[in-house]
Chain A
């Protein structure tokens, strides 16, 4: 199977529901083999973005390719190579776990029942149980196990880890996602569990009000996004650099966040009675700063 540089690539992808732009001119590039965390506040458009990738809905404008296939022109090829789990995805409750897996096996020629059984065994889910009697978390595990049964080149977990207990979450992160990464497969995770994302993702994207406001590797992001603290005399004002976020001013100090930090910036702020220091931000801090600043800007 041909490998492309990007597992997911969108170009000005837009989805409009009447007046609402759920996805707005998104240009996303998810490298093949990466674990990509797509973050954003509620209503940012993450689920709509995923549905566009699977062609569950049609884009209003723009284009998207998944694993080299145009999502509109070749949706079946896309879905054949993608495993998808949506948050709290209802299942056919009358089916047993084994029956559900069998049904999915009929849909994918390259099905590997042992993969599914292995995941279910590790979590301890009885394959003869009816889906309707399983807990919400157990059903999520079943969904994830079944989603990797055909060994997809791209696994999309759309807030799929929500509701999992820590043990199940760790099992999935360790055994499924790590394995996929080891095999050079791509994982796209959406959600708001920043701690998990920070631990496993190597690429992140921030979606705010339908717009992809930032996309980067996690390391690069952390290197670029810093919290700047400038101490200065009351009469010495600080000229904020372009793109400064979350600005807090007091008579003797100014705090703000920059998204393109460089030592030169620190040098330019330092001196003349001012003392500037840069502090690293956690992914969660970065997420909050970006989300709040863009939300305020939108107002």
Chain B
């Protein structure tokens, strides 16, 4: 074995020296490009990136050559019988070749890297690709093992060396395709680490296959030698991938005991269910290098969306790399939008690319019942979602940025839970604040797809309303015309146009729209300014109430006061008995800290609406229905009861204030309990406070 090792070393040492030469050439190219390009105003970073990629590819090429040459080139030159006729077992010959090859590979990589590192030393702070060296070392190992494996197998090919070379490269491409196309993702750290893990699982299999092929197979004739090594490699791959997959799953598993942060909690599903984003701390990083690479990027901590039962605190669904799922009103189904993470040199993890599919989960069985998008949704105009030359997106394939897939922003259930609507943003004009949306409506199983064009409201919000029984969708068609779309037949019916009642030249945009619980009325908020300006406050605030058949309409509020709507459009809603409308807006005072929220209340039968104001210092107001039919208006720690007269009565008691000291109210559950998000400096959680009994119950985690 020692003799074979020494022979391989003597035979291949020129390859290592060739690595030195290549490395030196790339470094020289680096200097030339820096001198030529950077002096002409180009970015040094671009030179670093280009030369770095070329530079780091060199070890990969050398690895493939070394691996392919160990056996296949020997066979091709006809010296294999000479070697096998020596007084060694084939195991010894194979081991000698393997060790010799690895020594060569290591030497070549070191020779390539060291001069480059020395030459590039002043620029190392800027040269981020050095961080990929561990990945490239693993890639080189994979190429070596793959080439060696096929080197053992390809002896019957007329050109064994090229065969091993080509098949080795094909293997790497297949592995990358396997990781990306087949979705064989193991960790949330990014695709490169997943490829590393699959590589580590593959290398023993490839070596085992090569070993069996070399020691057991008929090296000179017979095609059966293909079967045994391939079967061995597959078997070993199965055995090695199981612990690696298990380890990856274990280290990145969701561990509710380690939840450190709860974000964007939302009560849905009729108050039975809450969804939260959590960040569970990592048990341990997969490698020390990881921390330096990711730095303070949040990917280091896994973000999960958790759907939980508010009564029991039990996790109904835990998803990674998705938007928080939206649960149907009956709490049976959850719709989630998976993130897209394309392969780029920059990782591509934080690019917020458009969603391309939806997942529908059955919360009872915890099974994925639907994934994808109906073909009917894939047409339409390209979504102008991002500028391709914007730095984070520069260089990405155009297919990721524009094209047929819709730009789905969120999902929404019809009130009866029979329809799932996906909101696709098609365009947004920053100058005027007008946006275009499509409602992609389908059954939860993807059937009966309907596409409805929807006019967006001011500041990038789609404006539409569901009929309470899910039989229709009301929206504006784009010219101030309110239309109704009936489901499932998709018929369009013109209902009303604000241009009939106001000056056609008005610069108005939609604010909010809500359908009454009895399904007979719609309430619409229109806002505008003259002339239209980007962002900033509006000087027009109009509220209309109209019947869903369009025969009756009435403006219940109109003022031209200064209305602050820039940061957040406050909702309009109906009372449960459909007798009253509440519209909220933020009003600016002379001092920003004195800002307050105004609630405009109109009851059917009254001639005029009334207005109530929160105390100064209120920036937003969120409404929630109470079991007794009343409405709870909350703003941070401040809770107020909105009664039928439109008055805002303080609700916060001393007990509640004590409970809320480290909490914020996120809503009410189906039992009328206040659901609180807590953070006491040490731990986070969700709890429930019953205002009637004063009982405080911890829910999660």
Contacts and interface: CB of A to CB of B under 8 A. Distances in A.
Partners in one complex: yes
Interface of A: 17-18, 51, 54, 56-58, 75-77, 79-80, 84, 86, 89-95, 99, 103-104, 106-108
B218 A107 contact: no
Interface in B341-368: none
A17 B88 contact: no
Contact of B6 (A18, A51, A106): A106
Interface in B214-272: 218-222
B254 to A, nearest CB: 53
Contacts of B86: 79, 104, 107
Contacts, number: 58
B6 A89 contact: no
Given A17-B222, A92-B11, A94-B11, A56 B79 contact: no
Contacts of A108: 87
Contact of A17 (B3, B6, B79, B221): B221
B220 A75 contact: no
B81 interface: yes
A250 B219 CA distance: 52
Given A54-B85, A75-B89, A94-B11, A106 B3 contact: yes
15 contacts: A51-B220, A54-B85, A57-B220, A75-B89, A76-B87, A79-B85, A79-B87, A90-B78, A92-B7, A92-B77, A92-B79, A95-B10, A106-B2, A106-B6, A107-B87
B78 A89 contact: yes
Contacts of B218: 57-58
Given A51-B81, A79-B86, A92-B77, 6 more contacts: A57-B218, A76-B89, A79-B88, A90-B77, A90-B82, A104-B86
A103 B78 CA distance: 18
A7 to B, nearest CB: 17
Nearest to A20: B221
A47 to B, nearest CB: 10
Contacts of A92: 7, 11, 77, 79
Contacts of A89: 78, 81-82
A107 B88 contact: yes
A66 B220 CA distance: 22
Interface string B552-594: 0000000000000000000000000000000000000000000
A87 to B, nearest CB: 11
B88 A86 contact: no
Contacts of A75: 89
B81 A86 contact: yes
Contacts of A54: 85
B78 A80 contact: no
Contacts of A80: 87
Nearest to B74: A92
A108 B437 CA distance: 81
A56 B220 contact: yes
Contacts of A106: 2-3, 6
B294 interface: no
User: Top 10 nearest A-B pairs by Cβ distance?
Assistant: A90-B78, A106-B3, A80-B87, A79-B87, A107-B86, A84-B85, A107-B3, A76-B87, A17-B221, A90-B79
Nearest to A106: B3
A106 B2 CA distance: 8
Contact of B79 (A91, A99, A104): A91
